[in-house]
Structure 1
Amino acid sequence: MKSRGIVKLFFSTLGIGAIITIIIGFALQWERYQELFVSFDVLEILSVAFWFTGVGFIFSVISQMGFVVYLTIHRFALEILKSFSLWNSIQVVLILFVLFDLVYLRYIAFGNGESVVPFLWLPLFILLFGAAVAYTKHQQSSKNTFVSALFLMVVISVIEWFPALRVNEESWLYLMLFPLLGCNAYQLLVLPRFIEKKKGKSTAAM
């Protein structure tokens, strides 16, 4: 990838993270900020939006770091294992392991004897959203990228989400999760556009 493509991808992903964080931030605390829109307090609205923008930039950078790390791991795994099917099998096991732990460990830590059901829907949402993105990636690629894309959307996203998981404060869980998923999905789907092409074929690894 040329340096120009890297810069474009970096800043466009920053924008995606900021936009999603602003929308989710206002939505999560709408009762608190509703009065600002009713009274049309532009300066206060811009001030809050500016704060959410900064937070979104941070989430976006975390997402981009995770994306680069995964691309590196993906390439090394293929070189070491010498088998695409074996690497896919390992990724499937890790996806299931992470989803199970996301339910079980959170329930053990924060369940307080309550039903496990409330701890199921976020992992289920991540899986379904990740599967939709992975299917889209598979459709746009000539290679079998479904498992690798799902691994990124589930395992890498959960690892990036870990700071909010430790706190387990509901608004921060959602505020961090949606920008991470959005940024990861964006990078995964638009990466081929930023890859230098040779002889009409993309050199993308995924």
Structure 2
Amino acid sequence: MTSRNWVNLFLTTLVIGAVTTGVVGFIVRWSEFQQLLNDFSIMEFLSILLWLMGVGLIFSILSQMGFFAYLTVHRFGLGIFRSLWNAVQFILIAFVLFDLVYFRFNSFAEKGESILPYLGLAGIVLIAGLVTAFLKAKQTNKDAFIPALFFMVVVTVIEWVPVLRVNEHSWLYLMLFPLLICNAYQLLVLHKLNQKSIEERKALDRNIKANKKAQKKPSNA
């Protein structure tokens, strides 16, 4: 990927993270925002919204760190496990989803509390992963399905760990959706940016060769 396309990906993902967190924060903390609007506290309303968008920038950077870390891990996995890498990723996906439900339920559930909310959060992650992986496989090839699902499930949960450990309800959703959207965006746009970078390099090489040929032509003077 060329540096220009990488910067474009970085900045676009930052914007997506900030906007998504602002929107999700508005929904999750609606009662607080509604009270400010009722009191005509516009400046305070805007300050909280800007704060949420600033938090979204942090979520976006965390998402991008996870994305580029996964690209490295994926290469190592292919080198070490070769044809078994997809099977290893599938096992890890199942393991992470199980842990996401089992350990959270054992750690935070109160006596008599249903397991359904814990299954629901894992279900959101899995459904988002399946949809993104299907789109990725459709845009590229079927071999991309398991790696895309692994990234969307396993890497997203790892990025989500700081809030999972606290288990504060509003923060769970405030962090989850921006991470899912930023991760999905990077995954789905990566091959397009790589192709664009290849075309830009080819165009640059053609221009360099054309300039060299022009310089070698004898002068008419």
Give the structure-2-normalised TM-score.
Answer: 0.85
Residue 126 in structure 1 maps to residue 125 in structure 2:
yes
Tell me if 1:73 matches 2:84.
no
Match in the other structure for 1:204? none
State the alpha-carbon separation in 2 of the partners of residues 105 and 39 from structure 1: 42
Amino acid at match of 1:173: L
Q: Following superposition of structure 1 onto structure 2, how do residues 95-106 of structure 1 map, counting pairs within 5 Å?
A: 95-106=93-104
Question: Could you tell me how far 1:39 is from its partner in structure 2?
Answer: 5.6
Give the Cα–Cα distance (whole angstroms) in 1 for the partners of residues 115 and 153 of structure 2: 20
- Per the TM alignment, residue 45 of structure 1 is displaced from its structure 2 partner at its CA by 2.7
- 1:74 and 1:183 mapped to 2: Cα distance? 19
2:114 partner SS? coil
Deviation at 1:37, TM superposition (A): 3.6
Partner of 1:56: 56
Normalized against structure 1, the TM-score is what?
Answer: 0.91
Matches within 5 A, 1:86-97: 86-97=84-95
Aligned residues: 199
Letter in 2 for 1:107: F
SS in 2 for 1:112: coil
TM-superposed deviation, 1:40: 5.4
Bigger CA radius of gyration? 2
Shift >3 Å, 4+ stretches: 35-42, 198-201
* Aligned equivalents of 1:104, 1:176: Cα separation in 2: 21
Task: Measure the CA separation in 1 of the matches of 2:198 and 2:140.
Answer: 14
Distance 1:146 1:43, change over 3 A: same
- The two structures, once aligned, show a CA RMSD in angstroms of 1.8
2:59 is matched by which residue type in structure 1?
F
| Structure whose residues are more often helix by fraction | 2
Code of the residue aligned with 1:156 in structure 2: it is: V
Name the structure 1 match of 2:218: none
